[in-house]
Amino acid sequence: MRCGCDLVHVSRISGLLNRRPEAIGRVFSDREVADACRGGVEPTSIVAHQRLAARWAAKEATVKALDRPDLGPRDIEVRTRGSGAPELWIEGAATDLAVSMSHDGDLALAFVVAADQLATHHVQEEAAHAAR
Ligand SMILES: CC(C)(COP(=O)(O)OP(=O)(O)OC[C@H]1O[C@@H](n2cnc3c(N)ncnc32)[C@H](O)[C@@H]1OP(=O)(O)O)[C@@H](O)C(=O)NCCC(=O)NCCS
């Protein structure tokens, strides 16, 4: 089993999106932006930025959990279920990764847990690398 976590200052995301609004498309999918605006939330509001910051944290936490620095922000997508619970997709495919996010004030965080076959795959990769 492997895990990853990440903590993000919401003001960092707000600052980026206010300075360079076009950056949103380089980091987040249309679906992630729509999820952040669910319930009638304005895209430029603090709530939308808190939700986007949590999704940013989830992407970083995924890279840590999988030890996959090759993955870019648009390779990893947080999708929100009808219940509000998040799930992780990578390169357009659903994953077994467990993800949890929270945000309060200027802080947003995410944890990602990778179990079983992903962890096994990682151990095998490490062993193959060590044997080279
Ligand atoms: C789901 C719930 C626990 C979220 O807690 P919260 O303090 O309001 O919100 P947080 O900022 O910590 O977390 C928000 C994130 O929780 C996640 N979340 C929301 N609903 C979820 C669910 N059903 N399952 C798992 N995660 C969920 C989402 O990722 C959300 O982020 P998003 O809005 O950016 O998509 C809360 O809304 C709820 O349903 N509470 C009812 C239970 C209760 O009353 N508990 C009190 C004491 S135990």
Give yes or no for residue 80 having a pLDDT over 90.
yes
Helices (H), 1-132: 10-19, 24-27, 30-36, 46-66, 117-131
Atom of ligand 1 nearest to the CA of 80: 35
Give yes or no for residue 31 having a pLDDT over 60.
yes
85 C-alpha to ligand 1 centroid (Å): 8
Q: Which protein residues touch ligand 1 with a CB less than 6 Å away?
A: 51, 54, 80, 83-86, 101-104
Lookup result for tokens 């009638």: 40
Give yes or no for residue 119 having a pLDDT over 70.
no
CA-nearest residue, atom 15 of ligand 1: 102
Whichever domain contains 110, its CATH number is 3.90.470.20
Give yes or no for residue 40 having a pLDDT over 60.
yes
The residue range of the domain holding 81 is 2-131
Give yes or no for residue 118 having a pLDDT over 60.
no
CA-nearest residue, atom 19 of ligand 1: 84
Tell me 23's DSSP state. Answer: G
State in Å, rounded, how far the first CA of the chain is from the last one.
24
pLDDT tens, position by position, 89-111: 999 999 999 999 999 999 999 99
CA distances from 56 to 7, 23, 111, 124, 131 (A): 9, 13, 11, 29, 35
CA-nearest residue, atom 29 of ligand 1: 101
Domain count, the chain: 1
CA-nearest residue, atom 25 of ligand 1: 85
Atom of ligand 1 nearest to the CA of 104: 11
